[in-house]
């Protein structure tokens, strides 16, 4: 059977079915590559027609597994190992369903909450000010992190760690990423992790050095890790983290949405690896460490998700921005078996408590530096108005004291000069008088005496609000009578 395939919109071929399978295995074409043979109405993606292709010749082996890989030994008595990578990877995953249903569902709610909050922000000057300050510090933090990556970590390319570079390009192709982001390797004192970030139009995927050592540069486990991080970039999670920040800080909803990202990205990773054993290997390495991870039993760990329940586990899950590792393993296993993922019940009381807990970690473990910078920015944004408030109230208090002092002088004067009505402070204030100097209002108000039937009050032209001052009730004065 003669097949044609499209590379850069150019028709290539004809090739045989076996050759087409081999082109897929060697990464020349990917699952999204359009292919066609005589008799087909139109061009189809390779993934659609892969099943009709004849198995590749026996000489072709599957992707090498991770060293010491205990999983998936070739079944004995079978003359041929799983013939082709494409055929061995039986799964419902396709480029169109990598984003989890949960992510799509929560996305709607997070967008609604964020739009409402942004609209409220936009209505107030203070809100715009906060948003600008927080935005500035986020940008600064990201810039510094990007600078750290560019200057302090290993940039992977043809010259540097070429094997990892090649694996990365394969994963990009498999996920249909036409412009591969930068890949960096970061030494983090034994930590096992990877993350994706974006700054100033540059996308980064970062793999920790120990992760690379643990998984190897060319394993399907490494492809899973790279695919997971590319999933974050493809799904524009970094941008959403900023634009949808209000919704993501919302209790319960925010963390749930963040967790759904990881589920989606694990699906991206599994699809990129085209091998569930490798995906599970990566997860077990993350969970158990680089040595222990190889010997762990995926099913036992997955069972832990269903067996370990209760209030605190539920609360931990509800407030966490990552699904628990045992849950992720459980979901990957369900994908592998083509089953529904196990749903373990949560304690209802945990929802109530979680509602009063903050909406998870905005930084998402990207970098503690970033989180600290953001917190400082937010504190500054909150501290400025708080400082102004303190200053204002201390000025109010000072004026209040001034008026108390003047009232006391007024009081004294009335006592000493019974029956005289005071209209100004001229007789009270000055050298040798009751008050040596006129107190000054910190808000430049002028003080005046207001006489009412009930008595005399001191008023400030800038402080007519605030606590009323005690009126001098002349009727209660020991000195009797006043004229008029």
Alpha-carbon Rg for the chain, nearest whole angstrom, is 36
Q: Which is nearer to Zn ion, 103 or 170 (CB)?
A: 103
Of 79 and 444, which CB lies nearer to Zn ion in the complex structure?
444
Q: Which is nearer to Zn ion, 66 or 460 (CB)?
A: 460
Q: Are 72 and 281 within 8 A, CB to CB?
A: no
Q: Give the nearer residue to Zn ion in terms of CB position, either 21 or 263.
A: 263
Least distance in angstroms from the C-beta of 192 to Zn ion: 13
The nearer residue to Zn ion, 214 or 225, going by C-beta atoms, is 225
Least distance in angstroms from the C-beta of 120 to Zn ion: 30
Closest distance of CB 399 from Zn ion, Å: 3
Taking the least distance from each CB to Zn ion, the nearer of 227 and 251 is 227
Q: How many Å apart are CA 35 and CA 148, to the nearest integer?
A: 43
Least CB distance to Zn ion at residue 440 (A): 9
User: In terms of CB distance, is 262 or 275 closer to Zn ion?
Assistant: 262
For residue 439, the minimal CB distance to Zn ion (Å) is: 9
Cα distance between residue 222 and residue 207, in whole Å: 9
* Residues in touch with Zn ion (CB under 5 A): 262, 265, 399, 441, 445, 460, 462-463
In the bound state with Zn ion, the residue whose beta carbon lies nearer, of 233 and 298, is 233
Question: Closest distance between Zn ion and the C-beta of residue 462, in Å?
Answer: 4
How far apart CA 95 and CA 397 sit, in angstroms, is 67
Q: Which is nearer to Zn ion, 37 or 463 (CB)?
A: 463
């Amino acid at each position: 059977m003669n097949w044609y395939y499209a590379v850069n919109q150019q028709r290539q071929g004809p090739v045989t079915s076996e050759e087409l399978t081999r082109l897929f295995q060697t990464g020349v074409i990917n699952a999204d590559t359009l292919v066609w043979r005589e008799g087909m109405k139109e061009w189809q993606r390779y993934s659609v027609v892969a099943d009709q292709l004849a198995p590749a010749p026996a000489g072709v082996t599957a992707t090498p597994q991770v060293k010491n890989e205990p999983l998936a030994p070739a079944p004995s008595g079978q003359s041929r190992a799983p013939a082709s990578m494409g055929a061995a990877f039986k799964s419902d995953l396709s480029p169109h369903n990598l984003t989890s249903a949960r992510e799509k569902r929560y996305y709607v709610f997070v967008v609604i909450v964020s739009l409402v909050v942004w609209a409220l922000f936009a209505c107030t000057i203070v809100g715009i000010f906060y948003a600008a300050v927080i935005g500035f510090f986020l940008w600064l933090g990201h810039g510094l992190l990007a600078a750290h990556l560019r200057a302090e970590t290993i940039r992977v390319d043809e010259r540097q760690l070429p094997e990892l570079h090649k694996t990365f390009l394969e994963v990009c192709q498999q996920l249909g990423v036409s412009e591969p982001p930068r890949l960096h390797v970061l030494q983090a004192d034994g930590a096992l992790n990877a993350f994706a970030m974006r700054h100033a139009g540059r996308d980064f995927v970062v793999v920790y050095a120990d992760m690379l050592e643990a998984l190897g540069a060319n394993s399907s486990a490494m492809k899973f890790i790279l695919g997971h991080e590319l999933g974050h970039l493809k799904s524009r999670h970094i941008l959403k983290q900023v634009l949808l920040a209000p919704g993501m800080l919302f209790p319960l909803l925010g963390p749930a949405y963040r967790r759904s990202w990881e589920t989606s990205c694990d699906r991206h990773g599994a699809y990129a690896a085209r091998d569930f054993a490798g995906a599970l290997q990566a997860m077990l390495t993350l969970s158990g460490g680089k040595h222990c991870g190889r010997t762990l039993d995926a099913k036992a760990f997955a069972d832990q998700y269903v067996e370990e329940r209760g209030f605190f586990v539920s609360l931990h899950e509800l407030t966490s921005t990552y699904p628990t590792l045992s849950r992720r393993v459980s979901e990957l296993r369900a994908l592998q078996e083509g089953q529904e993922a196990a749903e373990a019940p949560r304690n209802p009381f945990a929802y109530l408590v979680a509602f009063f807990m903050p909406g998870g970690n905005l930084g998402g473990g990207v970098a503690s530096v970033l989180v600290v910078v953001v917190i400082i920015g937010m504190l500054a944004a909150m501290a400025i108005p708080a400082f102004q408030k303190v200053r204002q109230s201390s000025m109010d208090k000072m004026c209040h004291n001034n008026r108390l002092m003047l009232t006391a002088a007024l009081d004294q004067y009335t006592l000493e000069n019974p029956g005289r009505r005071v209209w100004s402070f001229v007789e009270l204030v000055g050298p040798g008088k009751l008050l040596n100097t006129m107190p000054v209002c910190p808000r430049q108000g002028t003080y005046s005496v207001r006489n009412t039937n009930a008595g005399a009050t001191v008023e400030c032209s800038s402080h007519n609000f605030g606590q009323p001052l005690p009126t001098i009730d002349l009727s209660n004065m020991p000195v009797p009578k006043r004229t008029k």
